[in-house]
Amino acid sequence: MDRMIRLERQGPVALLTLNRPETLNSLSLDAVRELLATLRALAADGSARALVITGAGRGFCAGWQLDANGVPGLEGESLGVRQSHLMEEWFNPVIQALDELPIPTVAAVNGACAGAGVSIALAADLVLAATDARFVLTFAPRLGLVPDLGASWKLPRLIGWARAQAVTMLGEAITAEQAARWGLIWRQVESAALQAEAMATAQRLAAAPPGICREVRRAFAAAQTNGLAAQLDHERLRQRELLDRPAFAEGLAAFREKRSPDFHRGDAG
């Protein structure tokens, strides 16, 4: 039986594929558990220097799909209580695991990207989308729900309050072209070139100083709540530590010697 989450390596880059193409890679509870375990194992292993996430077949991820036996829980619990437990134990930790990964992540969005699939894509550091990709949040108009897995935090910050509220309330699809123009994603790519472009981008990120992409992620996250004075202090304190790391010494030496820096000399990856 094929794994629902497939992990491969191409040099220093790990390629994680959501592998339920018959359901447009919708997330059953078993698939979510496997995804979380895979992300945690990847972080613990430490040998990969970048990660690409994509979907098998015609879509990236069509969102949450109930298992055949429904949402598990205790007798007498309502559906809402059961789902809340699952979100706390499995779904939300997937987004947190992506946010805490010490390596940069690239989402390669192919075809349909709906519901929780949007949240997973937006949890990546960089998002590339095929020209035929569509981002859809149908929680409100079709299910009477608010977006989950961090989408309500990400959307207004990326595309603005007015657009975020409109696409969520109306459930309108966002094309790859719109997504790039609005700032929801980094850029759109021809469908046939999506995976190659995503892997090339990940290779560039893998060559960066160890941990720096997470530092950038943390700096911009801090800026969402800090005032200017607090953010200036955040920058000062991070620079104080980063200037004393080997990566800065290598970058400075490479600049002086007019060569490309090698931040991973001796790294087997």
pLDDT digits 0-9 by tens, 141-200: 888 999 999 999 999 999 999 999 999 999 999 999 999 999 999 999 999 999 999 999
What strands, in cross-sheet order, belong to the sheet with 187-189? 5-10, 13-18, 50-55, 105-109, 126-130, 187-189
pLDDT at 67: 60
pLDDT digits 0-9 by tens, 105-155: 999 999 999 999 999 999 999 999 999 999 999 889 888 999 999 999 999
Where, residue-wise, is CATH 3.90.226.10 in the chain? 5-206
- Does pLDDT of 68 surpass 90? no
pLDDT digits 0-9 by tens, 238-257: 999 999 999 999 999 999 99
> CA separation (Å) from 39 to 34, 49, 97, 162?
9, 13, 7, 33
- Does pLDDT of 70 surpass 80? no
Residue 46 is encoded by which pair of tokens?
Answer: 């430490």
- Does pLDDT of 268 surpass 60? no
Distance CA 194, CA 23 (A): 21
pLDDT at 69: 58
Fold of 5-206: 2-enoyl-CoA Hydratase; Chain A, domain 1 (3.90.226)
